[in-house]
Structure 1
Amino acid sequence: MPDPALPRRVRVHEVGPRDGLQNEAAVLPVEIKAEFIHRLAGAGLDTVEATSFVHPRWVPQLADAERLYPMVADLVDRGVRLPVLVPNARGLDRALGLGVREIAVFAAVTESFARANLNRTVAESLALFEPVVARARAEGLRVRGYLSMCFGDFEEGPVDPARVVGVCRRLEDMGCSELSLGDTIGTATPGHVARLLTDLHAAGIGPDRLAVHFHDTYGQALANTLTALRHGVTTVDASAGGLGGCPYARSATGNLATEDLLWMLDGLGIETGVDLRRLAATSDWMAEHLGRPGPSRALRALTHRDTPTPQDKEP
């Protein structure tokens, strides 16, 4: 019998083509990236974060954003959401010039990470995003706000939930329709997650406005996700094959693998609309192009032995 404390459906926000590939040493041909995105959509993912309009000097792996987006824009007409990350007004100009309909901005919760990643204080970085979000909303775009270091910082240690609540409020006031809570260095535990979500709810920021973005540094990503689901969150960020991490956060391992997430969700009877075997085949294909296997345990099991999926077991 399904657990009544869990949602019936979860939206998987796939970040592999952006957050995953930006952390790879290899720079893949744009044609491979475009095929990757099409394969992910073909597996049933209806949200695929396509690329980033950060200056190529900072993220050379995604320097081909202007070439890539037109190669995948046909998916939007098929109902697939293709958000892109923009760091500033110039990045928004580039995105608007290509007809992008959904963007994300990337905010820091801690001062040390804001300095390292954005070369600004938290307050200064939020002030920078305000006109970007305002213009995007005026143009009819949907805007997501990423928050990094929501649970712990490698220099500052555990993060007070009140700081996260404060940044969430600022991003909501700007016009962000969704806030993704990032465990950038993977130090969160289910207790941390429950406490933060409880505090956000008390502040009037409900789970319908939230997504979670966990890294698996200490092997807690799935446990943290399950805790978030029990608190009403229904959007989970994940990366095909477990690609990625954070290029500015030392010791951070990969994102929660989409295959690992789907194995758990399928086993719980939670709908996603994603075909786990097709996704695993796509991640295996990408691993060949990168020249190394991904860290996803479910992916290794599914591609190296005949393991039935929960979907296979359905009558």
Structure 2
Amino acid sequence: MTNAQQPVGFRYQQTFNDLATKNEKAFIPFVMIGDPNAEQSLSAIKALIDAGADALELGIPFSDPSADGVTIQMAALRAIKAGINTDVCIEVLAKVREYAPNIPIGLLLYGNLVFARGIDNFYRDMAQVGVDSVLIADIPIRESQPFREAALKYNVAPIFIAPPNASDETLQDVCAYSHGYTYVLSRAGVTGVDVEQQTEHTTTASPAQSLISTLNKYQGASPVLGFGISTPQQVRDALSAGASGAISGSAVVRIIEDNLNDHARMITELTQFIASMKAATK
């Protein structure tokens, strides 16, 4: 279960390697742990795995998620209302790791949650339940040293974002400090999209192509494209731009939001969506 005695980011490397042998790339869904409650959240995460997710990106709910759009903000608030805190998230994560021993599990969260637990304690506790990576949305690289050091101490991969407007110097730092994968933004702004306005032909690739090329030049960890990916065509576009995988968050969370009163339908729709997005990586 724990990450002891393994190289940092080992599950990501194994996953990317295994996919390459099948001429596939990674599809990674995001959900908020504890949305709409701990029990249903665990069931939803298991459904993502069973439907073909190659890795998981999971949120820990925070009261002021400034980098997130409305859909994910509401998910965080639902989880908080259900009594979800970091301790409960750790319990859920332990069950996810037990259910799927080899799937990479990444966290996306805010710095205050790490501070509240103590930086060293946080990474120790996450490593013990088999978390592979941590991306802190509101900690810039210039302030990241204590987080990076604690992460690597416990074999947890620190993840950094490569934004489309980044300087060359920033991208060099992202490549130097990211392990496991590099989170590439398809566009600037907060997470999420107005899913209803997305079409099958909305493209995400064009600004990412040169960004991924630069990251490859600096030998960064595998680039994974996120932000606003909600259709199979956008997954294909991301991979055509050179990404090793694609992350979809708001579109997945919206399925949970739309089916709060019908858990069986929630699981069915999640399964269908993940399967269709995964198929686009083949």
TM-score w.r.t. the length of structure 1 is: 0.54
1:105 matched to which residue of 2?
Answer: 135
Q: Secondary structure at the match of 1:50?
A: strand
Structure 1: gaps (5+ residues) = 1-6, 22-26, 108-117, 119-123, 152-158, 245-282
2:52 corresponds to which of 44, 66, 75:
44
Give the alignment of 1:161-200 within 5 angstroms.
163=166, 165-182=168-185, 183-185=187-189, 189-200=204-215
Ranked by relative contact order (alpha carbons within 8 Å, sequence separation 6 or more), the top structure is 2
User: Do the aligned residues in 1 keep the contact of 2:204 with 2:237 (CA within 8 Å)?
Assistant: no
2:226 corresponds to which of 203, 213, 216:
213
The amino acid of 1:28's aligned partner reads P
Q: Count the aligned residue pairs.
A: 216
The amino acid of 1:66's aligned partner reads D
User: Do the aligned residues in 1 keep the contact of 2:29 with 2:55 (CA within 8 Å)?
Assistant: yes
Give the alignment of 1:1-315 within 5 angstroms.
8-17=23-32, 28-52=36-60, 55-56=62-63, 58=65, 59-63=76-80, 64=84, 65-77=86-98, 78-88=101-111, 89-90=114-115, 92=119, 93-98=121-126, 99-100=128-129, 101-106=131-136, 118=138, 125-147=140-162, 150-151=163-164, 159=165, 163=166, 165-182=168-185, 183-185=187-189, 189-201=204-216, 203-205=217-219, 209-215=222-228, 225-239=235-249, 241-243=251-253, 283=255, 287-289=258-260
2:69 matched to which residue of 1?
Answer: none
Deviation, structure 1 residue 132: 0.3
CA pair 196-62 structure 1, distance change in 2 beyond 3 A: same
The amino acid of 2:205's aligned partner reads P
2:197 matched to which residue of 1?
Answer: none
Deviation, structure 1 residue 61: 4.3
C-alpha distance in 1 between matches for 2:252 and 2:277: 18
C-alpha distance in 1 between matches for 2:278 and 2:240: 21
Quick check: which has more Rg, 1 or 2?
1
C-alpha distance in 2 between matches for 1:125 and 1:165: 15
CA RMSD of aligned residues (A): 4.0
Deviation, structure 1 residue 86: 4.3
Structure 2: gaps (5+ residues) = 1-21, 66-75, 194-201
C-alpha distance in 2 between matches for 1:290 and 1:95: 35
TM-score w.r.t. the length of structure 2 is: 0.60
1:272 matched to which residue of 2?
Answer: none
